[in-house]
Amino acid sequence: MKPRLARGLQDILPAQMLARQRMIDVIRSVYERYGFVPLDTPAIEFLDVLSGTGGEEAQASIFQVANPDNQEVPLGLRFDLTVPLARVIAQYADLPRPFRRYQVAPVWRADKPGPGRFRQFTQFDLDSVGVKSEVADTEIIAAACDTLEALDVGGFRVRVSSRKVLNLLMPFADIPTEAAADVFRVLDKLDKLGLDKVKLELTTGYKDKSGDTIRGLGLSSAQVQKIEQFLDIKADKREDVLVQIKEAFAGLDDADSAIGELEKISKHLAALGYDDDRVALDLSIARGLAYYTGPVFEAVLLDAPEYGSVFGGGRYDNLVMRFLGEAAPATGASIGVDRLLAALVHLKRIKLVNSTAQVLITRFDNDLIDDYLAMAFELRRAGVRTEMYVGTAKRVGKQLKYADQTDIPIAIMMGSDEKEKGTITIKDLAQGREMSKDMSGHEQWKTERPGQFEAPRSELVQTIKNLLTQIEG
């Protein structure tokens, strides 16, 4: 049997897993600071529970699971965390409302995999169910900002739009409402394709590089002109954008309430200190749009825009109705954990390391094994993450190399010399590596022993703790 994985699946090896866990811990702590509570649901749901919203095409990208009890009732793997949340809301009538929950879990989509796009990936979701007010949307957007800041991602921008405001485009450009989904799907490509191609796709269509025919929507030039006018609505300041929107859509039905929503969110955010440089109003984001009903937003990293949206969400007031019959207003956001991690590694804002241990105790002399064990457990009991070398390499050189390869910063050595003196030899591997750059030959290396010093055995814990604070700054 050849070891292999099915298409679009990946293993997450320790170095990446460690970075990812740290990321998840940070996100969780931000969400709990907002008072959100955790939820978990099974990976497997009834297929009809999953596929209700999207119709038949939606089913195409659901992984189906054979039902061992009844083949007539098929099962599937969840493709997001929002639909299971809607089911939970509808199923547990006595859950407190508002229900504000976070959930981090893998989801599956049987789409074509691409770079940074897998068939199993982990989402970290945050949702408020049962709140109609814009305050809930504001909190979600603020939490997105706080999360990105806590993750130290560098520059980012949250772009906020609104499904309701976008809907105004239809009467504004005199386009039938049935065409809305198609128009938005095309407009969503603006970033990727540029205005010229988008215009072609709105009207006559064109042939792309690979020779594929892109079907046009057949809009008139007057309609496209109106769309262009709409796309011209942009400004650095949220207030200026709001003024432009109001001007453009004055007099249209529902314009006041749609715009009012955005205005309130913008004002709340301003009061909290989330300024124009972090949160912008930008009508060019459409976010798939399928189940969104109100404000929508997404966040991009300014230094890695090619990674696309790393954080996105919006209001979806009708999703729960499917199960419940009554409306349950909801708003939320989702982080693509693996995509964000990939972007941060790319930006060198996360360093991948291969070990959890801070200290490696080398096995210098097998007769002293009990001394080594004693040191290891002394450090562990003091809270220092410690590994005693348990591999087969007898030579200390190899053991040090192992520490190097696994990114363990400190090595401890104790042979009979030290034992007699009551001391230990401590090596700061990173410092030694740094100092060795200026060394001429092996003799100097041997005599100077860079990054290495002796300390009394009795002061083991304190010495290591001091060195760790020094290293980890």
Partner RNA sequence: GCCGGUGUAGCUCAGUUGGCAGAGCGCCUGACUGUGGAUCAGGAGGUCGAGGGUUCAAGUCCCUCCGCUGGUACCA
Name every residue whose Cβ is closer than 8 Å to that of residue 111 and which is 6 or more positions away in sequence.
8, 61, 117, 119
Task: Supply the minimum distance, in Å, between the C-beta of residue 149 and RNA.
Answer: 26
User: Applying CB under 7 A, which of residues 322, 349, 415, 471 lies at the interface with RNA?
Assistant: 415
CA distance 145 to 142: 5
Residue 51 binds RNA, judged by CB under 7 A: yes
Stretch that binds RNA, among 33-41, 285-293, 350-358, 463-471 (CB under 7 A): 285-293
Stretch that binds RNA, among 163-171, 188-196, 253-261, 324-332 (CB under 7 A): 188-196
Place of tokens 């124009």: 276
The one-letter amino acid code at 71 reads Q
β-pairing, 99-108 vs 37-38, is parallel
Q: Are 283 and 144 in contact (CB under 8 A)?
A: no
Task: Supply the minimum distance, in Å, between the C-beta of residue 80 and RNA.
Answer: 7
In sequence order, what DSSP letters do the residues of 444-473 get, joined into one string?
HHHHH-TTEEEEEGGGHHHHHHHHHHHHH-
The number of residues that bind RNA (CB under 7 A) is: 70
Task: Supply the minimum distance, in Å, between the C-beta of residue 363 and RNA.
Answer: 12
Which residues in 193-222 contact RNA (CB under 7 A)?
193, 201, 208-212, 214
Stretch that binds RNA, among 13-21, 105-113, 260-268, 350-358 (CB under 7 A): 105-113
Cα angle for residues 8, 11, 14 (degrees, 5° grid) = 150
The one-letter amino acid code at 382 reads A
User: Applying CB under 7 A, which of residues 123, 293, 425, 463 lies at the interface with RNA?
Assistant: 425
Residue 468 binds RNA, judged by CB under 7 A: no
Our CB check for RNA shows the closer of 201 and 276 to be: 201
Run of H or E residues at 185: helix 180-187
Stretch that binds RNA, among 140-148, 185-193, 324-332, 344-352 (CB under 7 A): 185-193
User: Applying CB under 7 A, which of residues 111, 232, 275, 459 lies at the interface with RNA?
Assistant: 111
Provide the mask over 73-102, with x wherever binding to RNA is found by CB under 7 A and - wherever it is not: ------xx--x-------------------
Residue 346 CB-half CA count within 13 A: 13
Q: From start to end of 389-465, where are the E strands?
A: 410-413, 423-428, 452-456
CA distance 352 to 149: 20
Q: What is the DSSP letter of 35?
A: T
Stretch that binds RNA, among 14-22, 133-141, 274-282, 288-296 (CB under 7 A): 288-296
Which residues in 57-76 contact RNA (CB under 7 A)?
57-62
Stretch that binds RNA, among 111-119, 257-265, 338-346, 353-361 (CB under 7 A): 111-119
User: Applying CB under 7 A, which of residues 6, 93, 271, 390 lies at the interface with RNA?
Assistant: 6
Name every residue whose Cβ is closer than 8 Å to that of residue 135 and which is 6 or more positions away in sequence.
268
Stretch that binds RNA, among 90-98, 132-140, 276-284, 427-435 (CB under 7 A): 427-435
Helix, strand or coil for residue 357? coil
Tokens of 88: 């939970």
Report how far apart the first and last C-alpha atoms of the chain are (Å, whole number): 48
Q: How far is residue 73 CA from its own chain's centroid? A: 34
Residue 396 binds RNA, judged by CB under 7 A: yes
Our CB check for RNA shows the closer of 1 and 271 to be: 1
Residue 416 binds RNA, judged by CB under 7 A: yes
Our CB check for RNA shows the closer of 52 and 98 to be: 52
Our CB check for RNA shows the closer of 30 and 408 to be: 408
Which residues partner with 37 through β-bridges?
A: 101
Angle between helices 255-271 and 134-150 (to 10 degrees): 40
Q: Are 262 and 281 in contact (CB under 8 A)?
A: yes
* Residues within the interface to RNA (CB under 7 A): 6-8, 50-51, 53-54, 57-62, 79-80, 83, 109, 111-115, 185, 189, 192-193, 201, 208-212, 214, 288-291, 364, 393, 395-398, 400-401, 404-405, 413-418, 425, 427, 429-430, 432-433, 435-436, 439, 441-442, 445-446, 449-452
